[in-house]
Amino acid sequence: MGNIDNEIEHPDHLQLKQLLEEAKPLMLPMFPDQQKVWVAESPLAQEIKSILAKHPEYYDEVRAAVGEVFPKPKASASASGS
């Protein structure tokens, strides 16, 4: 039951999953330098980056889907303990 609540609470996560499904087949045939250009210029990539900016906890999921082409969002240093 908790999973349904989470999905209803987090439409950004559902959107991210859809965006990654679109991005994956586009990115697979690209060389790393082409991927960097795609991440910088593609509207699809911009949407993924904006969701990551709001939800850095989704970064591992993005990395698992398309590799480390998106810059890791900066976590708040003051929020993490020692």
pLDDT on residue 81: 39
Q: Which of 54, 56, 57, 61 is nearest to 19 (CA)?
A: 61
Residue 12: what pLDDT? 93
Q: How buried is residue 61: exposed, middle or buried, by Cβ count under 10 Å (0-12/13-18/19+)?
A: middle
Residue 25 is predicted with a pLDDT of 93
Tell me: pLDDT of 5 over 60: no
Determine how many CB atoms are found less than 10 A away from the CB of residue 21.
10
pTM: 0.78
Tens of pLDDT, residue by residue over 39-73, are 999 999 999 999 999 999 999 999 999 988 998 88
pLDDT at 9: 56
Q: What's the pLDDT score for residue 8?
A: 62
